[in-house]
Amino acid sequence: MKIIVLGFIVSISLTAWGQSYKVTGTVLDVKSKVPVEFATLWVEGSGIGTMTDSQGKFVIQYLPEGKHEVLVRCLGYSEYKLQLDVRKDKENIVVYLSEQTLALNEVTVTAERKTADATTAYTLGRTALDHLQSVSVSDALSLLPGEQTSKFKSLTSSAQVITLRGERAEMGNPDFGTVVEMDGVRLSGNATAASTSGTDTRNIGNSNVERIEVITGVPSVEYGDLTNGVVKIVTRKGKSPLIVDVAVRPTTQSYAVSKGVELGGKAGVLNLSYERVRSVSDIASPYTSYVRNAFGVRYSNSLHTKTGKTLSVDFSLNGNVGGNNTEADPDAFKETYTKNRDNALWSSLSFNYMVNSPWLSNLRGGVTFSYADKRVEEKKNQSASSVQPALHTMEEGYFVASKYEENPSSPIILLPTGYWYVTSFNDSRPINYTAYLKARWSHKIGSVTSNLLAGADMKGEGNLGKGTYYEDMSVAPTWREYRYDELPFMHNLAAYAEEEITLSFRHSQLLLKGGLRSDMTFIPGTVYGTVSSLSPRFSAKYSFGEKEHGFFRGATLRAGWGKAVKLPSFEMLYPRETYVDRLAFAPGAMADGTTYYAYHTHPVLPVYNPELQWQYSLMREAGMDIRLKGV
């Protein structure tokens, strides 16, 4: 940490010695020559960026001397990489963007590796997703190297979770430790009912996704609460025509519509989307089904100054109403069914102030909110020829069973004989919220480029669900109440700093990245109190032999090491009490058929280990890329 701070102070003090220039230009449609508004331009490997105004014009201030690659993106257009060799101020540069279409001559239908990053990362663009004809995010992840693109699960088969850097058989930990974000909102939560389950991606609208970024290597220290990789889902933003998508498979039908509306003047752009998907488990008996009604609302706007500063504001609201249902299945036992709600709501409000000054490149901040309704309703048939007890005792002592009609509050209920139905509910409603602020400084001194990131975030997690309960307590089986909404919220405060230094030589380049993340977790109601952890991470990349001609076109070596800490799930943090029930008296049936039972119940309290540390992983990676002619 001291080395990072010292490096920051030294680099800031020497910034004035580095040469920097201004770049101006216009982004146009290649066919119509109409200015493209709201196109973003980011200088790869730095925090410098801007956005075009209503005339398609842009200004990039204080761009360091040297060669730069500028990534130009806009909804509805193919991504463009602008190569700049800055030795002086450059004015009136014209960038032409081509409309994105399935009829493009060259289409990348696999995950494209992000060569500008020191760590291993990939990008899945909209064109690749359209060619794949995916109906869920997990389908799209099959395009990653080593995955099978021919296998697609039905949405009714099981929860579709994403596993990076591991196998699902490892007690769920690779699933639990993989981060899934949508427009900056963390979708997975530690307050879910399952202990180490991953994020189920079935409720994420697929047709409105603009791109998916996947980090399989050592991530930046700005990403916390993980042990594996990061999946970032970015939805459409910007003006677009009415888009209608229809996809049909033997077991799945998908219908979607979306549009980006320019509100006029300086009012910004509003994106609206709706997608309905219905998937069945068996086309011969299409009754057990999963339904997704995904919707999205996204508002974006930007304010420009003549000096090249841009303030962009973004609000997104995404959600789903649907779930899995077997209620209408005639092949099931009469009047039995299972209904799984899969409702969700995700929202974020963020700003990005692209300062582009010698002392500050950009400042980002915002708040996010996530809520899910995962209630499961199940109706089962039961039968018994003799009276059986159902224990609901939660205190130490001896208890005698009685009929529900005689004593509805009895801790032990005598169940009926004959035939009946039991309807149970498991109500889980995890909620989490986050506030964050981060700043980036990018500058160049001679052949050394410095890119410093510093930030902090605060998040809270809890569950508003009632847990398991029954519709009719007179037939409720042995069961103890465990309410999620009575568990305290968990909060985590994090601060981090990371320095990325690029050393440019005549025929090669070395990139070094190092950072440190500090987390403080506050857990009320347990002996843990406040738990702190440190996560150092380092990455390096060396590129050499870059040239445009000849058989050998260049190579890149990369390596990384880091520690990643995963916060505990509520099932681990607040374990349920268990009970030892011993039969004390069972006289058998009386002449009228009545049976009496007496039990002694002993609650077993969980034992906490105050020295217990949170789960973490040591992430390592090493790789080599070789570029050859025609490959």
- pLDDT tens for each residue of 103-112: 545 555 566 7
- pLDDT tens for each residue of 483-529: 999 999 999 999 999 999 988 888 888 999 999 999 999 988 777 88
How far apart CA 46 and CA 68 sit, in angstroms, is: 10
Four-residue CA torsion sign, 249, 250, 251, 253: positive
Q: Is it the case that residue 383 has pLDDT exceeding 60?
A: yes
Residue 529 neighbours by CB under 8 Å, 6+ apart: 522, 523
- pLDDT tens for each residue of 26-54: 998 888 888 888 888 888 777 788 888 87
Residue 467 neighbours by CB under 8 Å, 6+ apart: 193, 426, 427, 428, 481, 482, 483, 484, 485
- What pLDDT sits at residue 421? 93
- What pLDDT sits at residue 194? 66
- Number of Cβ within 10 Å of residue 52's Cβ equals 26
Q: Is it the case that residue 554 has pLDDT exceeding 80?
A: yes
**Percent of the chain topping pLDDT 90:** 36
Mean pLDDT lowest for which of 237-241, 288-292, 438-442, 526-530? 526-530
Domains in the chain: boundaries: 19-100, 102-631
**Percent of the chain topping pLDDT 70:** 90
How far apart CA 35 and CA 46 sit, in angstroms, is: 26
Mean pLDDT of 559-568: 93
- What pLDDT sits at residue 132? 75
Q: How confident is the model at residue 15 (pLDDT cuts 50, 70, 90)?
A: very low
How far apart CA 338 and CA 343 sit, in angstroms, is: 16
Could you tell me if 188 and 431 are in contact, meaning their C-beta atoms sit under 8 angstroms apart? Answer: no
Mean pLDDT lowest for which of 6-15, 274-283, 370-379? 6-15
- What pLDDT sits at residue 9? 39
- What pLDDT sits at residue 582? 93
- What pLDDT sits at residue 386? 81
Mean pLDDT lowest for which of 113-122, 168-177, 301-310, 523-532? 168-177
Residue 493 neighbours by CB under 8 Å, 6+ apart: 456, 457, 458, 519, 520, 522
Return mean pLDDT, the chain: 84
Q: Is it the case that residue 143 has pLDDT exceeding 60?
A: yes
Containing 258, the helix (H) or strand (E) segment is strand 252-262
How far apart CA 124 and CA 144 sit, in angstroms, is: 9
How far apart CA 152 and CA 247 sit, in angstroms, is: 14
Q: How confident is the model at residue 150 (pLDDT cuts 50, 70, 90)?
A: very low
- pLDDT tens for each residue of 184-196: 999 877 888 766 7
How far apart CA 525 and CA 510 sit, in angstroms, is: 49
- pLDDT tens for each residue of 112-129: 777 777 888 888 888 777
- What pLDDT sits at residue 422? 94
Containing 127, the helix (H) or strand (E) segment is helix 126-132
Mean pLDDT of 9-38: 70
- What pLDDT sits at residue 145? 74
- pLDDT tens for each residue of 457-490: 999 999 999 999 999 999 999 999 999 999 999 9
Looking at domain 102-631, its CATH class is mainly beta
- What pLDDT sits at residue 498? 95
List, in sequence order, every residue forming a beta bridge with 310; answer none if it has no partner: 304, 354
- What pLDDT sits at residue 6? 41
- What pLDDT sits at residue 107? 53
- pLDDT tens for each residue of 574-621: 888 899 999 987 766 666 666 778 899 999 987 777 777 788 889 999
∠ CA 426-432-434, nearest 5°, is: 175
Q: Is it the case that residue 442 has pLDDT exceeding 70?
A: yes
Indicate the CATH number for domain 19-100: 2.60.40.1120
- What pLDDT sits at residue 591? 62
